[in-house]
Amino acid sequence: MAGRLLSPSQPMDQAAVTAASGLRARMQALDLLSNNLANSATSGYKLDREFYSLFSGDASAADGQSESTQMPFVKSQWTDFSQGTLTPTGNPLDMALNGQGFFVVNGPSGPLYTRNGSFQLSSSGVLTTSDGYSVAGVGGTIQSQSQSPIQVGQDGTIQQDGQAIGQLQIVDFQNRSALEKMGNSYFTNTNPAVKPGPSQAVVSQAQVEGSNVGPAESAVRLVGVMRQFEMLQKAISLTTDMNKQALQEVARVGGSAQ
């Protein structure tokens, strides 16, 4: 009799395990959403989204047989590379890309790719990012020749005092899944077989591209995920209470039978 009373707790255990898996997936989603919101004002930032899937696991049923149960988890995260809004700044060293593509900068371990065109000139006159990485030009770095302002063409050609001093290297990738974030504004190519190609993006001087995070949408999604989180917590608490009640019933029936 006691064995029959215990058997209903097995589905409750599976429900608790599934709910716990759901909690983990929602925690990962909360991390992504929180990071997106934190970078809603970061120039060139591209928001991350989560891709859910179901994990099939085995659980022991009451009759001793193995049963398959599906548990949700975040299979992967992917980056939304959609265009952000271009905002005028009045700073001739600010540059934005209108269209698909990336600026190339010389990172500490190789080329990095970015949409953040908030550039500056180093003490030696080299065009760099705000982090000090030199901006790659076609054929080398871009070196200022004087204190005169620069003019940037739509194709990335840079002139100073009427003379061309370089051209921005702008590339794109057919397979962007090879790009992995490094920090909030840079990407690195994790697959050497995926080569960068030419870009058709147009350069706009004295403008920066804003983050493509929609604060309102992200806030709504954040509230939704938090509500799901609370519901899953209640589900785990409920199944725990039901299991306790089942054990108490077994003890009561077992004591009465003696």
> Are 60 and 25 in the same domain?
yes
> Are 23 and 132 in the same domain?
no
pLDDT at residue 94 in the model: 98
pLDDT band at 254 (very low <50, low <70, confident <90, very high): low
Give the type of residue at 44: G
> Are 180 and 94 in the same domain?
yes
Q: What percent of the chain has pLDDT over 70?
A: 71
> Are 119 and 156 in the same domain?
yes
> Are 71 and 113 in the same domain?
no
| Cα dihedral value 155, 161, 164, 170, nearest 10 | -40
Q: Which domain holds residue 123?
A: 86-209
Q: Is pLDDT of 6 > 50?
A: no
> Are 156 and 235 in the same domain?
no
> Are 198 and 101 in the same domain?
yes
Q: Is pLDDT of 5 > 50?
A: no
pTM: 0.73
Helix (H, G, I), strand (E, B) or coil at 67: strand
> Are 101 and 194 in the same domain?
yes
DSSP 70: E
Number of domains the chain is built from: 2
> Are 92 and 56 in the same domain?
no
> Are 249 and 138 in the same domain?
no
Residue with the two structure tokens 């690195």: 188
CB 103 within 8 A of CB 201: no
pLDDT band at 33 (very low <50, low <70, confident <90, very high): confident
> Are 204 and 227 in the same domain?
no
* pLDDT tens string 182-234: 989 999 999 999 999 999 999 999 999 999 999 888 788 777 777 776 776 67
